């Protein structure tokens, strides 16, 4: 019984550590999109890209996450353990905006019930922002993404 209790407590501690440290693993970069300059968290590794914005309960008005991939191909996103609705913009290798989609929170859905949000064309970058952000800021297809060094 004592070892079962220890395993349970360890599981809780590990779960808390994963959730509370989520945002600390992402470097930040300044990007320009249209007339907007944003500071975004950047996900470049497979581990960072899998974690994405999971378990976040809030995203500031002009905050987001930029996913940078090593090559250009059709990208698939889903909202596993994502608690807030998001908009996603896909960009090609030249930084040209090629697709924008609205993504519904995965809260309360089984993994098998979560939709995939596939890029309309091959993409090298994806930018997740609060739902409706691109429309609200008049960011249209063809807009160029500029990533500051």
Please tell me the pTM assigned to this model.
Answer: 0.82
Closest listed residue to residue 143, CA positions, set 35, 43, 42: 35
| Per-residue pLDDT tens digits for 72-117 | 999 999 999 999 999 999 999 999 999 999 999 988 889 989 999 9
Residue 14 has pLDDT above 90, yes or no: no
What is the distance between the alpha carbons of residues 88 and 130, in angstroms, rounded to a whole number?
9
Residue 71 lies in a domain: yes
Sheet holding 123-130, edge to edge: 97-103, 86-91, 123-130, 64-73, 36-43, 28-33, 145-147
Residue 13 lies in a domain: no
Write down the pLDDT at residue 98. 98
What is the distance between the alpha carbons of residues 65 and 67, in angstroms, rounded to a whole number?
6
Range of the domain at 113: 24-147
Give the chain's domain count: 1
Residue 32 lies in a domain: yes
Judged by average pLDDT, the poorest of 7-21, 22-36, 98-112 is: 7-21
| Per-residue pLDDT tens digits for 35-83 | 999 999 999 999 999 999 999 999 999 999 999 999 999 999 999 999 9
CATH number at residue 88: 2.60.120.1140
What confidence category does residue 25 fall into, taking pLDDT thresholds of 50, 70 and 90? confident
Give whole-number Cα distances, 91 to 10, 31, 80, 133, in Å.
42, 13, 22, 16
Residue 104 lies in a domain: yes
């Amino acid at each position: 019984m004592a070892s079962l209790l220890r395993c349970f407590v360890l599981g809780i501690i590990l779960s808390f550590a994963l959730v509370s440290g989520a945002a600390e693993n992402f470097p930040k970069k300044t990007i320009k999109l249209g007339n907007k300059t944003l500071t975004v968290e950047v996900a470049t590794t497979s581990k960072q890209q899998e974690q994405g914005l999971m378990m976040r309960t809030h995203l500031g008005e002009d905050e987001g996450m930029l996913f940078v991939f090593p090559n250009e191909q059709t990208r698939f996103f889903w909202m596993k353990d994502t608690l807030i609705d998001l908009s996603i913009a896909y960009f090609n290798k030249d930084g040209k905006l090629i697709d924008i989609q609205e993504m519904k929170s995965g809260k309360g859905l089984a993994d098998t019930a979560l939709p995939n949000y596939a890029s309309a064309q091959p993409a090298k970058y994806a930018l997740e922002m609060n739902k409706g952000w691109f429309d609200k800021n008049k960011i249209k297809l063809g807009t160029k993404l500029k990533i500051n060094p």
